[in-house]
Every structure is written in structure tokens, then in C-alpha cells.
Amino acid sequence: MNIVMRMVFVLGIAALCLAAGCRTHEHHSRAPVPSWIDYPKTSDSVFMYVIGAAADQPSGAIAREEAYKDALRQISRRILTEAGLGIDVLPADGVLTPLEGAEVMPDCTYIQPDGWSFAAWVQVSFPIAEKRKVVEELRGR
């Protein structure tokens, strides 16, 4: 086959795929993200770690803030579980307050534009000592 015939063949196959509703692998995968999102740091004897995420936000700053709030909600639920309480004791925003020491880890913020909106991920550390303190306070209620 000469080059022109090969191009016609490839274009014909592509047209058939589009007509049949086929999608390429690229349409199903998300844009590459930092490895800490897919392989987050595991909790150790000093800190617990969580990944907070947010999507469909109007700006990168709002997406980051919502991802941070998501991480705080996850920490709050873990604390309640350890204290033997249900999530019904959480305030409306789903976050126990105050959660002293919950911090976004250095270089662990990722904001991704997605058309007209933004998605964000943050990895947050929370001191185990503070978690134990809050658990004991909740158990003492």
C-alpha cells in the first residue's frame, strides 16, 4: 500500500468508529495527576493523612478550600468512629471544631482546570496526639 491509500484506510476506520460511537482511551482517562493523589502517604505514629478532593468549583481557590474541607470531614468521621459515636453528632458542615493542627502538606496541593470549572486535591496531615485528645474529649461527653 502506498502512503495515500494507508491514510485513506486509517481515516475510513476512524470515521467508522466515530459513526458507531466508539471512543478512544483518551476520553476515558483523566489528565495525569501527581503520584501522591493515587498513592497517598499512609498514617504513621505521629500523623494521620487524608486526601481531600473537590470538583466542579468556579475557581481554583474555591476548589482548594473545598478539598481542604473534604479532608477535615474525613478526619472528623475517623475521630467519631474511633470514639464510638455516630456521624449524627457532627455539625451541619460535617467538621468537628476545632481540629487543631490539620495542615495541608507542603507540595501536596493540585488544582486542575476542567473546562469552565476546577478540581482540586490536597493531602492533609493531622497529629495523632491531637486526634487522641479529641477522641478522649468526645468519650467524656
One digit per residue, pLDDT tens: the chain, 141 residues? 566 555 545 555 555 444 444 443 333 456 789 999 999 999 999 999 999 999 999 999 999 999 999 999 999 999 999 999 888 888 888 898 778 999 999 999 999 998 999 999 999 999 999 999 999 988 886
* pTM for the whole structure: 0.76
Residues 6+ apart with CB under 8 A from 108: 34, 36, 122, 123
SS3 54: strand
Q: Contact, 48 vs 75, CB < 8 A?
A: yes
> From CA 69, how far away is CA 95, in angstroms rounded?
8
